[in-house]
Amino acid sequence: MIRSSRARRAAITLAATALVLSACGSDGDDKSNDAAGGDGGGASELCGKNLAFLGALTGDAGALGQNMVGGIELALKEYNADNADCKINLKTFDSQGNPDKAPALATQIVNDDTIFGLIGPGFSGESLATGKTFFEKGLPSISPSATNVTITQQGWTTWHRVIGNDNAQGQADAAYLTGEVGAKKVFVVDDGQDYSKGLADTVKEALGDALVADDQISVGDTNMSAIVQAVKASGADAFFYGGYYTEAGLLAKQLRQGGFKGTFMSGDGSEDPNFVKVAGTQAAEGAVLSAPAGPPPADFGASGLYATQAYDAANIFLAAVQDGASSAQEINEFIGSYSNDGVSGPIAFDENGDIKESKIYAYFVKDGKLDVENPQAIS
């Protein structure tokens, strides 16, 4: 999902870039392993080197980045326990999800010789802002969470993602509304931002004749009474919103209070417990929020949205190390031909770096809270 660079209106205290686990690879190990390169574990030149994470660790979306780092650290812990002679460590770079801050960090990452792969960037905006840098330096990257459709259309052959893009989500959402819900007239609204409009446009296109009308709000709008009136006048039996949880919550609240009885649906930008807080439990009840990410398996050792995707992304790099890949190009080739089942689902990439098979899930607000444990697969 894209986080817009919300107007950061004043100088904020400097968020210290957290440098976690800056590894000092032992020279001895490297020498003894120099001649390696075959299959089997622990023999790569990459031993003792680092993966990098670029994404929001603080700021409005900091929690999502923390989830991702949790997944990556779990993968590294498991790997390092089995490969004590070839440890891989993580360096994190906190962009706060801000496309303006990410490029400087991207430069740091590509100039750091100890980094052989990137997990991230977290959001679409920063991905678009940094993709060229990574591509030109040939650093392979796998994003756990950036879903904007256009990223993989830039020709950046080192860029991959282990999550379905907004096209996949929009089509699944439209199919869910017309199929499972049985909606005949869907009213679609977005907030005009890249992510929101992209998702809403896909939904509109996939709805076809079932689209009864559409409208656009602005981020920060609180008075939705005109939309409520338009929805009621259109006779819509379902409502789709492309955008984030604050406006989604206000729309749900005011629509219900205005007497709208149909299905309220939104995408992953709204899939947040705050949606229920803003809408109020009564208005949020029954809302459907889709996301291209499922819940983790029961015994998974990390938690939160995108933790499984980050875990899978890290494991792809680690598999490349074990396979004996020693250069960026070899890693990139390895990723391109990778095909395996991750905890988030089957993983294989098409020629653009998009995941071949993506699952979209519908989450429901039930009994006054967002039920994150029992989503329904809708694609």
Partner 1 sequence: MDLGALFGSFDNFLSYTAGGLVFGAIYALIALGYTMVYGVLQLINFAHSEVFMYGTFAVAWTFIFFHGTGDATWSLGKAIPILLVALVVAMLMSAAVALLLERVAYRRLIRNNSPKLIALISAIGASFALAEAMGLRDRFAAWFGLDDDLADYVSPDKARDVYSNPVTIQPHELFTIGGYGVTDVDLVVLGAALLMMLALDQFVRRTRLGRGIRATAQDPESAALMGVNSGRVVQITFLIGGLMAGAAATLYMMKIGSTRQNAGFILGVKAFTAAVMGGIGNLRGALVGGLVLGVMENWGSAVFGQEWKDVVAFVLLVLILLVRPSGILGEALGKARA
Using CB under 8 A as the binding rule, whether residue 225 contacts partner 1 is answered as yes
Q: Which of 154, 274, 352, 376 binds partner 1 (CB under 8 A)?
A: 274
Kindly tell me which of 118 and 224 has the beta carbon lying closer to partner 1.
224
d(CA 122, CA 84): 29
Part of the chain binding partner 1 (CB under 8 A), chosen from 167-175, 272-280, 306-314, 337-345: 272-280
Kindly tell me which of 18 and 377 has the beta carbon lying closer to partner 1.
18
C-alpha distance from residue 292 to each of 143, 196, 335 (Å):
13, 15, 21
Using CB under 8 A as the binding rule, whether residue 197 contacts partner 1 is answered as no
Kindly tell me which of 6 and 356 has the beta carbon lying closer to partner 1.
6
Task: Tell me how long the chain is.
Answer: 379
| Angle, CA 334 vertex, CA 330 and CA 338 arms, to 5° | 175
One character per residue 249-268, x = contact with partner 1 (rule: CB under 8 A): xx--x---xxx---------
Using CB under 8 A as the binding rule, whether residue 216 contacts partner 1 is answered as yes
Part of the chain binding partner 1 (CB under 8 A), chosen from 2-10, 37-45, 99-107, 352-360: 2-10
Q: For residues 177-196, which are near partner 1 according to CB under 8 A?
A: 189, 192
The residue assigned the tokens 């991959």 is: 160
Part of the chain binding partner 1 (CB under 8 A), chosen from 52-60, 176-184, 260-268, 292-300: 52-60
Tell me, by CB under 8 A, how many residues bind partner 1.
Answer: 49
Part of the chain binding partner 1 (CB under 8 A), chosen from 20-28, 70-78, 270-278, 312-320: 270-278
Q: Which of 27, 233, 298, 299 binds partner 1 (CB under 8 A)?
A: 233
Query: Nearest Cα to 172, choosing from 366, 357, 370?
Result: 357
Phi, psi of 212 (to 5 degrees): -95, -35
Annotate 231-263 with DSSP letters as a single string: HHHHT-SEEEEES-HHHHHHHHHHHHHTT--SE
Part of the chain binding partner 1 (CB under 8 A), chosen from 5-13, 97-105, 301-309, 321-329: 5-13
Using CB under 8 A as the binding rule, whether residue 17 contacts partner 1 is answered as no
d(CA 276, CA 62): 20
Q: Which of 282, 327, 329, 340 binds partner 1 (CB under 8 A)?
A: 282
Using CB under 8 A as the binding rule, whether residue 16 contacts partner 1 is answered as no
d(CA 153, CA 166): 13
SS3 58: coil
> 286 near 364, Cβ under 8 Å?
yes
Using CB under 8 A as the binding rule, whether residue 235 contacts partner 1 is answered as no
Part of the chain binding partner 1 (CB under 8 A), chosen from 10-18, 23-31, 73-81, 101-109: 10-18
89 sits in which H/E element: strand 89-94
Kindly tell me which of 250 and 307 has the beta carbon lying closer to partner 1.
250
Using CB under 8 A as the binding rule, whether residue 13 contacts partner 1 is answered as yes
Kindly tell me which of 96 and 152 has the beta carbon lying closer to partner 1.
96
Using CB under 8 A as the binding rule, whether residue 5 contacts partner 1 is answered as no
Neighbouring CB atoms inside 10 A of 377's CB total: 11
For residue 166, the minimal CB distance to partner 1 (Å) is: 20
Kindly tell me which of 11 and 84 has the beta carbon lying closer to partner 1.
11
d(CA 304, CA 133): 29
Phi/psi region, residue 21 (left: phi>0; alpha: psi -120 to 50; beta: rest), is left
d(CA 31, CA 21): 22
d(CA 47, CA 364): 44
Work out the burial of residue 373: count CB atoms within 10 Å of its CB; fewer than 13 is exposed, 13-18 middle, 19 or more buried.
Answer: exposed
Q: Kindly state the DSSP code that residue 216 receives in the 8-state scheme.
A: E
State the residues that interact with partner 1 by CB under 8 A: 6-7, 9-10, 12-13, 58-60, 62-63, 189, 192, 215-218, 220-230, 232-233, 245-246, 249-250, 253, 257-259, 274, 276-283, 368-369
